[in-house]
Structure 1
Amino acid sequence: MSSQTSELEKYQPLPISCSLQDIRSAIPKHCFVRSARRSLTYLLRDLVMAAMLFLLVRKWDKLAEHISGTVVVRWTGWAVYWWFQGLVFTGIWVLGHECGHGAFSPYPLLNDTLGYIIHSALWTPYFSWKISHHRHHTYHASMERDEVYVPKTRTDLGLPSLDHATALDYEEILGDTPLFTLFMLVRQQLLAFPAYLLLNVSGQQRYPRWTNHFLPNSVLFTRKQRTAVLLSNLGLFVTAFDR
């Protein structure tokens, strides 16, 4: 117990006045080393897991044909498959996300090539979203400049000012409950991200109504970025017609 205590005593929180450089200096240097080999290993692992899950559910499908209550057994298997395959595909999507950040490897061409393939296959416009997502991280939680999670005012939420608050703020009351958290998670995964890409929901409300990630002349992009937007659209087009 004493040895554990002495180890913990080595780690002291940084003062609130510390700079970004102070924070970076406190992180071990090996955490900033990008390894293409390691990242490719993770990608291969996830692809193998996805393939194995698909083969297993196909075998389950054939086995269900010889079991009474075929429909129930079959769809139970598919429901389990969708859950676990969703977890694996989320991991693959995150690897594509890291490609967009340049964290997958130290090679920009490899990052963009794999990120483009991965995100296009998973219905995400790679270059378009990479551009807006970069600005999101640059201006995170800024009321004026964040591109994704712009903090909402009470007026945006349809709530009265605090001086005249009579209506209940259900999100404030229920925000930490498991059922409400599950509801928000399902809403975000099924609806929120596509709505953001298509309709700029949760983005800057001062942007024009037609703002989205698929129009090259959208306010989200500069003239030099329009070709990248078209390339992102092409990736999704190929995905759609390759089914």
Structure 2
Amino acid sequence: MDTLYRVFADSPEYLARKNTPFSPTKVTHSELRAVIPQALFEKNTLKGLLYVARDVICAVLVYKLGVLIDPTTALLISRFGVSPLISIVFKWTSWAVYWYCQSVILAGWWCMAHEAGHGNISPHEWVNHLVGFSLHTVGLLLDAV
């Protein structure tokens, strides 16, 4: 029993760190900004819109694959003679994978729309408004369905 306890016990390094008082670093905002390459602060409309297009295309492709889940399940039974139990497991697993992938993509949409609202997609304010409004609107419509 003592061996099992030692496996889950805290390490000496962790115990020493835990007993040391915390003090945050003394880095100023300007010092932090100085070590980041200046090119990372430049907004690029084309690059921002390419990221938006990439995520929209990914969402459409995953949707098209999701539409094929039920017909594929029926095809497994009718053409390939797969047992109904295996086809049901395939169907539910496919839907779980679909919803996971689509939720990650649409969460990315929300993040891009949010960042566009802060003016981080493009140096042009109207592009940021258009991207933010469009992605948030589509996200709300998909949520309502």
Same fold per TM (> 0.5)?
Answer: yes
Deviations 1:26-74 (A, max 9, x none): 2110010111100111111111111111111222321101223244332
**2: distance between equivalents of 1:75 and 1:20?**
49
Candidates 64, 74, 81, aligned match of 1:65:
74
Deviations 1:112-164 (A, max 9, x none): 111011112223xxxxxxxxxxxxxxxxxxxxxxxxxxxxxxxxxxxxxxxxx
Matches within 5 A, 1:58-97: 58-66=67-75, 67=77, 68-69=83-84, 70-97=87-114
**SS at 1:122's partner residue?**
helix
Higher relative contact order (CA 8 A, sep 6+): 2
Q: Is the alpha carbon distance of 1:75 and 1:20 closer, same or farther for their aligned partners in structure 2, counting shifts above 3 Å?
A: same
More helix by share: 2
The alpha-carbon deviation at position 18 of structure 1 amounts to 4.1
Q: For residue 41 of structure 1, what is the aligned residue in structure 2?
A: 50
Matches within 5 A, 1:1-243: 16-66=25-75, 67=77, 68-69=83-84, 70-123=87-140, 239=141, 243=145
- Structure 1: state its 5+ residue gaps: 1-15, 124-238
Q: How many residues matched? A: 113
Larger Rg: 2
Q: Percent identity?
A: 30
The alpha-carbon deviation at position 79 of structure 1 amounts to 0.9
Output the TM-score relative to the length of structure 2: 0.68
**1: distance between equivalents of 2:139 and 2:69?**
25
**1: distance between equivalents of 2:27 and 2:103?**
40
- Structure 2: state its 5+ residue gaps: 1-24, 78-82
